Amino acid sequence: MGKDKIRRFEENKSFKCLYQPDFEEVFRRDHEMKGRWHAECFGNENPIVLELGCGRGEYTVGLARKYPDKNFIGVDIKGARMWRGAKTATEEGISNAAFLRTRIEFIEWLFSPGEVSEIWITFADPQIRRDNKRLTAPMFLDRYRKFMKPGGIIHLKTDSPYLHEYSCALVKKNQFEVLAEIKDVYSDMERGMLSPEMSEILSIKTHYEQHFLSQGHPITYLSFVLPEDKKIAAPEWNHDLYPR
Ligand SMILES: C[S@@+](CC[C@H](N)C(=O)[O-])C[C@H]1O[C@@H](n2cnc3c(N)ncnc32)[C@H](O)[C@@H]1O
């Protein structure tokens, strides 16, 4: 392991906003923070918003700055990446941002029913042909709604036509309520087609996003309401339609 990574892992231990449960603490058993994020982590009852696969946590920190009346938790398995977000939140004293280092597969052991209001999925791997790994596949949506409030919202920002179109097909198949669908975020922004608030939120750029933008890939956005109980069906889907 490189020196820089070792230094970041060491510094991670000092961040009060960073939670790093051991595997045994979350593998098919409730973690001690489950149901206690409002009281123990944030000290308020404001809505909790997750960023799944947060990487360096640009959305977690950016949204926390913009919305002091909501709480944000970035979730990722890579500690050296989250170090960036946790350090910025610590240095700037952003008290409504936290980070959780864990596998997203364990998330239902970390949050209790109704504890989370919204989820952002930012530039996740499309997991082509790997339905059980894709973060918007029925298996993951079923996990999320175990701990989401009624009317909980999913936001998906991606450069991947595969992930965007798959998610749109799933939303359509299940007749979920769509709040927004944007095929080219920055083109719509330039043409003044987005509200000032939407423009501000969607212009937060992540590390991966900057890389994809430099390659000329359009960035898409989809947000929808995740219903509480209806069975979620997979869409009819041709895996070969989109190469990435
Ligand atoms: C392509 S990167 C995007 C990172 C960041 N959102 C960005 O846009 O720069 C995907 C991130 O998801 C994380 N990730 C992927 N699968 C995961 C899982 N099952 N549990 C936790 N993190 C995961 C990876 O560690 C990685 O940081």
Query: In percent, how much of the chain has pLDDT > 70?
Result: 100
Gap from CA of 171 to ligand 1 centroid (Å): 22
- The separation between CA 59 and the C-alpha centre of its own chain, rounded to angstroms, equals 8
Secondary structure of the chain: what % helix, strand, coil (to 5)?
Answer: 35, 20, 45
Residue 150: what pLDDT?
Answer: 95
Cβ distance 221 to 157 under 8 Å? yes
Whether residue 242 is contained in a domain is answered as no
Cβ distance 110 to 102 under 8 Å? yes
Residue 163: what pLDDT?
Answer: 98
Number of structural domains (the chain) is 1
Confidence of residue 230 (pLDDT cuts 50, 70, 90): confident
Here the CATH number for the domain that contains residue 134 is 3.40.50.150
Pocket of ligand 1 (CB under 6 A): 53-55, 76-78, 81, 103-105, 122-125, 206-209
Whether residue 231 is contained in a domain is answered as no
Whether residue 28 is contained in a domain is answered as yes
Whether residue 238 is contained in a domain is answered as no
Sequence-distant (6+) residues with CB within 8 A of 213 are 159, 186, 205, 219
Q: For the residues 212-235, what does the mean pLDDT come to?
A: 95
Catalytic position from the list 30, 125, 131, 188:
125
Phi and psi based region of residue 8 (left: phi greater than 0; alpha: psi -120 to 50; beta: remaining): alpha
Sequence-distant (6+) residues with CB within 8 A of 130 are none
Whether residue 57 is contained in a domain is answered as yes
Whether residue 157 is contained in a domain is answered as yes
12-38 pLDDT, tens digit per residue, is: 999 999 999 999 999 999 999 999 999
Whether residue 244 is contained in a domain is answered as no
How far is the C-alpha of 124 from the C-alpha of 66, rounded, in Å? 23
Tokens of 148: 């989401």
Which residue from 31, 47, 167 is spatially nearest to 100, judged by alpha carbons? 31
90-149 pLDDT, tens digit per residue, is: 999 999 999 999 999 999 999 999 999 999 999 999 999 999 999 999 999 999 999 999
Give yes or no for residue 229 having a pLDDT over 90.
no
Domain carrying residue 125? 3-225
How far is the C-alpha of 191 from the C-alpha of 182, rounded, in Å? 13
Cβ distance 120 to 52 under 8 Å? yes
Q: For the residues 46-74, what does the mean pLDDT come to?
A: 98
170-222 pLDDT, tens digit per residue, is: 999 999 999 999 999 999 999 999 999 999 999 999 999 999 999 999 999 99
Whether residue 236 is contained in a domain is answered as no
Gap from CA of 81 to ligand 1 centroid (Å): 9
Residue-averaged pLDDT of the chain = 97
